[in-house]
Amino acid sequence: MKYIDSFCEYLKNQKNYSDFTVLNYRKDLEEYFEFLNDKKYSYSDMDYKKCIDYLLFLDGKQLKKTSVSRRLSSIRTFYKYLVLNSYVNNNPFLLVSSPKKEKRIPKFINYQGIDEIFNIPNTKTPEGQRESVILEVLYGSGVRVSELVNIKLKDIDFNNKTILIFGKGSKERIVSFGNPAKDAMNEYIKSGRELLLNGVKSEYLIVGKEKESLTTRRIEQIIDSLITKTSIKINITPHMFRHTFATHLLDQGCDLIAVQELLGHESLSSTEIYTHVSNEHLREVYLKCHPRSTKGE
């Protein structure tokens, strides 16, 4: 499976993709090369007809549209890398359209749920202080979990209450945080963080017991553990705090363009999906609270 290793190194070191993202690219490409071997096709000799054969192969696996789109995106990016390095002459998958995505309304946590979750961490312990920081930064700034684990102390500007974030594709953006996050981070950095490190040196904000940093999977486990201590019955993922951040900003009248910038979305269409959630919430508030909303029924 030629060039997969060098491509994954390129994604990790030059594009700054997370280990999890790089692993997904690798899995998609390994599957693609298995298809090529079965068909006795060469990666360097693909044309439109052979690409359609690959689509038929995927169709036979009865995958969701999002899974098919992800695989096609992985392969397009792989061929873009090959063209960039003159390993092939063209990118045959540019001719192949991805299936239209079904827009799914993002799930978010209501205000009551947020309050309940934030009351769970025991900030008298190092672990509790870390939990509080994780919650405050995820919800207070809208960063991705992969961005959270890569925040370094030098990236935080406590005076202006901003964090320099290195997002997808090594793109930088500045996110803001409020006083609760500032207080939580200050307390954690002064005491809990050092106790967790136990002499180990680290430049990262979120650390583990004698570990320089935490993985996204460990953050998921921490969130899961916190949710089990609440009355919340729905499945809460770390990414839902990002959805909640955007939804609550729009609920409070924040400008859509501003939310786009804070989330680091390239396209406004990626942000617009949150307006559906926010508008539905406002409709529910209207129907519940306005004295003439149900008159005549």
Residue 171: other Cβ atoms inside 10 A:
12
Dihedral sign, CA of 53, 55, 56, 58? positive
Residue ending a domain, among 47, 63, 95, is: 95
Tokens representing 286 are 């209207």
The answer to whether 189 touches 137, Cβ cutoff 8 Å, is no
Residues 271 and 157 placed together within one structural domain of the fold? yes
Of the candidates 285, 231, 282, 276, the residue with the CA atom closest to the CA atom of residue 256: 276
Q: Does a structural domain hold residue 296?
A: no
Residues 267 and 158 placed together within one structural domain of the fold? yes
Residue 153: other Cβ atoms inside 10 A:
12
Instruction: Please report, for residues 70, 109, 147, 225, 287, the alpha-carbon distance to residue 117 in angstroms, rounded to integers and kept in the order given.
Output: 33, 10, 21, 11, 28
Residues 222 and 119 placed together within one structural domain of the fold? yes
Measured distance CA(181)–CA(259) in Å, rounded: 19
Residue 174: other Cβ atoms inside 10 A:
15
Catalytic residue list contains 276: no
Q: Does a structural domain hold residue 13?
A: yes
Which residues face 164 on adjacent strands?
Answer: 174
Instruction: Please report, for residues 92, 166, 177, 257, the alpha-carbon distance to residue 142 in angstroms, rounded to integers and kept in the order given.
Output: 37, 13, 9, 15
Catalytic residue among 71, 130, 193, 242: 242
Give the pLDDT score at 257: 83
Which residues face 166 on adjacent strands?
Answer: 172
Catalytic residue among 144, 193, 243, 248: 144
Measured distance CA(227)–CA(221) in Å, rounded: 10
Q: Does a structural domain hold residue 16?
A: yes
Instruction: Give the residue with greater pLDDT, 293 vs 24.
Output: 24
Measured distance CA(200)–CA(188) in Å, rounded: 16
Residues 185 and 145 placed together within one structural domain of the fold? yes
Residues 88 and 133 placed together within one structural domain of the fold? no
Give the pLDDT score at 2: 74
Q: Is the pLDDT of residue 160 over 90?
A: yes
Catalytic residue list contains 76: no
Give the pLDDT score at 196: 96
The answer to whether 156 touches 188, Cβ cutoff 8 Å, is no
Number of residues that make up the chain: 297
Catalytic residue list contains 274: yes
Give the pLDDT score at 284: 63
Residues 72 and 18 placed together within one structural domain of the fold? yes
The pLDDT tens digits for 93-150 are 998 888 876 666 778 898 899 999 999 999 999 999 999 999 999 999 999 999 999 9
SS3 46: coil
Residues 259 and 123 placed together within one structural domain of the fold? yes
Which residues face 204 on adjacent strands?
Answer: 152
Catalytic residue among 168, 211, 218, 281: 168
Give the pLDDT score at 116: 96
The pLDDT tens digits for 77-96 are 999 999 999 999 999 999 88
Tokens representing 217 are 């999977």
Give the pLDDT score at 251: 81
Residues 178 and 152 placed together within one structural domain of the fold? yes
Residues 84 and 133 placed together within one structural domain of the fold? no
Catalytic residue list contains 281: no
The percent of residues in the chain predicted with pLDDT above 70, rounded, is: 90
Q: Does a structural domain hold residue 131?
A: yes
Q: Summarize the confidence of residues 168-192 as an average pLDDT.
A: 91
Measured distance CA(32)–CA(7) in Å, rounded: 14
Instruction: Give the residue with greater pLDDT, 291 vs 175.
Output: 175
Give the pLDDT score at 108: 87
Give the pLDDT score at 130: 98
Residues 122 and 27 placed together within one structural domain of the fold? no
Least confident segment among 16-25, 124-133, 190-199: 16-25
Give the pLDDT score at 289: 62
Q: Does a structural domain hold residue 106?
A: no
Residue ending a domain, among 62, 95, 128, is: 95
Residue ending a domain, among 95, 121, 148, is: 95
Main-chain phi, psi angles of 105, to 5 degrees: -75, 125
Q: Summarize the confidence of residues 184-203 as an average pLDDT.
A: 96
Assign residue 142 the CATH number of its domain.
1.10.443.10
Measured distance CA(237)–CA(214) in Å, rounded: 16
Mean pLDDT value across the chain = 88
Catalytic residue list contains 107: no
Give the pLDDT score at 268: 74
Q: Is the pLDDT of residue 44 over 60?
A: yes
Give the pLDDT score at 33: 95
Give the pLDDT score at 11: 93
Which residues face 174 on adjacent strands?
Answer: 164
Residues 138 and 58 placed together within one structural domain of the fold? no
Instruction: Give the residue with greater pLDDT, 95 vs 23.
Output: 23
Q: Does a structural domain hold residue 104?
A: no
Task: State how many domains the chain has.
Answer: 2
Catalytic residue list contains 32: no
Determine the residue type at 169: G
The percent of residues in the chain predicted with pLDDT above 90, rounded, is: 62
Give the pLDDT score at 99: 80
The answer to whether 141 touches 106, Cβ cutoff 8 Å, is no
The pLDDT tens digits for 223-262 are 999 999 999 988 999 999 999 998 888 888 788 888 888 8
Q: Is the pLDDT of residue 208 over 70?
A: yes
Q: Does a structural domain hold residue 103?
A: no
Domain that holds residue 244: 111-287
How many CA atoms does the CB half-sphere of 146 hold within 13 Å? 13
The pLDDT tens digits for 59-80 are 898 888 888 999 999 999 999 9
Assign residue 15 the CATH number of its domain.
1.10.150.130
Q: Does a structural domain hold residue 264?
A: yes
Give the pLDDT score at 19: 87
Residues 194 and 231 placed together within one structural domain of the fold? yes
